[in-house]
Amino acid sequence: MDARKAASRFFTDEFIVAAKPVKERFLAPEAAIEAKEKALMQVRDARADDIPAIMAIYNDAVLHTTAIWNDTQVDAANRLAWLSQRQASHYPVLVADAGPQGIVGYASFGDWRAFDGYRHTVEHSVYVRADQRGGGIGKVLLAALIERARDLGKHVMIAAIEAGNEASIHLHERLGFEQVARMPQVGTKFGQWLDLVFLQLMLDQRTTPDLTIG
């Protein structure tokens, strides 16, 4: 089975597993409620009214993690401009919408480098709300993002991850990404040097790229 099929099968299974009512019979009441709510979760394109939730997740990552090498929080106008720019480039911004629990994560990609020759390569990011991590949401979001990259005819996806971010590295390796580079001490946050690792996923087996730009 090719990687594309594997990713979409995983994506489907995740929802089927979450949605199976029979599972709930074996769960404690709170867990059954959680399973039901998870079953309601959908991954969809972000809208302008998702901006407050996206901004909150982003700013929390700025304040508390080394996922974003930035110390400055952003406002809603900043995130709206970012969303508009991604939409104008026909690039996805996906949110995990858990209904009553709100937006529990988001994921997006953009150009890796702004030169024509890199047009088949994108760099992405994925963020899950702090109280929802470790529950499979990151995997669902990233699998959906990979599908979108394939749909757009992209050839390579790149993740730039702080070397100590075990959750993110594990998530990416789980979905087929391979570590291709490590750059020691190229960043700093919280008073320490940070190493950057690059992981990449080959999205298709094309032997030659197209000749058109776009």
Ligand X SMILES: CC(C)(COP(=O)(O)OP(=O)(O)OC[C@H]1O[C@@H](n2cnc3c(N)ncnc32)[C@H](O)[C@@H]1OP(=O)(O)O)[C@@H](O)C(=O)NCCC(=O)NCCS
Residues that bind ligand X (CB under 6 A): 61, 65, 67, 125-128, 133-139, 159, 161, 165-168, 170-171, 174
| Smallest distance, ligand X to C-beta of residue 148, A | 17
- Closer to ligand X by CB, 38 or 119: give it: 38
Q: Strand 103-111 and strand 93-97: pairing?
A: antiparallel
Q: Would you call 142 helix, strand, or coil by DSSP? A: helix
- Closer to ligand X by CB, 135 or 187: give it: 135
Instruction: Tell me the C-alpha to C-alpha distance, in Å, between residue 69 and each of 15, 161, 191.
Output: 33, 10, 12
The DSSP 8-state label assigned to residue 195 in this structure reads E
DSSP letter string, 19-66: H-HHHHTTS-HHHHHHHHHHHT-EEEE--GGGHHHHHHHHHHHHHH-S
**β-pair partners for 103:** 97
Name the residue with the smallest CB distance to ligand X. Answer: 138
Q: Strand 156-162 and strand 103-111: pairing?
A: unpaired
| Smallest distance, ligand X to C-beta of residue 127, A | 5
- Closer to ligand X by CB, 82 or 127: give it: 127
- Closer to ligand X by CB, 16 or 210: give it: 16
| Smallest distance, ligand X to C-beta of residue 128, A | 4
- Closer to ligand X by CB, 125 or 155: give it: 125
Burial of 133 (0-12, 13-18, 19+ CB in 10 A): middle
| Smallest distance, ligand X to C-beta of residue 96, A | 9
| Smallest distance, ligand X to C-beta of residue 57, A | 8
Q: Does residue 160 contact residue 198 with C-beta atoms inside 8 Å?
A: yes
